[in-house]
Copies of this chain bind each other. A is one copy, B any other.
């Protein structure tokens, strides 16, 4: 992870990792079955922490649908570069798309699904509090929200120049548009 962060995912060779760990190349492969596996270990760490922080917000969300969603999403975004760089995210995303049947691809998809589920649960909770129109189904709504926020995150990760602030601003626009559709009276 240190090596990837410092030199980038692609420039780092397995031989470099092996050297840092003072073992042979073969030994690295005894513990991680591919180079992508090394990366996915970090992705898992990152997302598990984000999910845990998200649960804390779910337990007691701020008042108002838009504010509550904003809180959760900003949390996601703020934490996203804790362990991974944008380049590492790109590599991880590429692996998960290219090899969906492999353990790594599946793990990434599973983490994604858990994030989407967390958003959907927040929507359901807001609906129970009367802050989302009662006639809407929180599941597809949560998924639409997550798709949008995820697409923005992908755009953020693709563009090295884009700041987290710009990402948050874009997400705010989207959340505002969705909130206008979701909230009951003031719609």
Is A53 part of the contact surface with B, judged by Cβ < 8 Å? no
The quantity of this chain's copies bound in the complex is 2
The count of residues in chain A whose C-beta lies closer than 8 Å to any C-beta of chain B is: 34
Which stretch in A23-31, A42-50, A75-83, A170-178 binds the other chain? Answer: A170-178
Distance from A131 Cβ to chain B, minimum over Cβ atoms (Å): 16
The CA of A154 and the CA of B181, in the complex, are separated in Å by 25
Find out whether the CB atom of B90 lies under 8 angstroms from the CB atom of A177.
no
Contact A97-B136, Cβ < 8 Å, known A144-B148, A147-B147, A147-B151? no
A10: nearest chain-B partner, CB-CB: B98
* Bound CA span A98–B158, Å: 8
Task: Report yes or no: A178 in contact with B90, Cβ–Cβ below 8 A.
Answer: no
CB atoms of A177 and B100 under 8 A apart = no
A92, chain B: closest CB distance, angstroms: 9
Q: Is there contact, CB below 8 Å, between B158 and A100? A: yes
Within 8 Å by CB of A177, from B91, B140, B151, lies B140
Query: Are the CB atoms of A144 and B100 closer together than 8 Å?
Result: no
A57 interface contact, C-beta 8 A: no
- A100 near B159 with CB under 8 A, answer yes
Q: CB-CB < 8 A to A180: which residues of B?
A: 136
- Give the distance in Å from the alpha carbon of A136 to the alpha carbon of B182 in the complex: 13
Residues of B within 8 A of A109 (CB): 158
Within 8 A of B (CB), among A122-141: 136-137, 140-141
> In the complex, which residues of chain B have a beta carbon less than 8 angstroms from the beta carbon of A144?
144, 148, 174, 177-178
In chain A, positions 91-150 with a C-beta closer than 8 Å to chain B are 91, 93-95, 97-101, 105, 109, 136-137, 140-141, 143-144, 147-148, 150
Q: Which residues of A contact B (CB under 8 A)?
A: 90-91, 93-95, 97-101, 105, 109, 136-137, 140-141, 143-144, 147-148, 150-151, 154, 157-160, 173-174, 177-178, 180-182
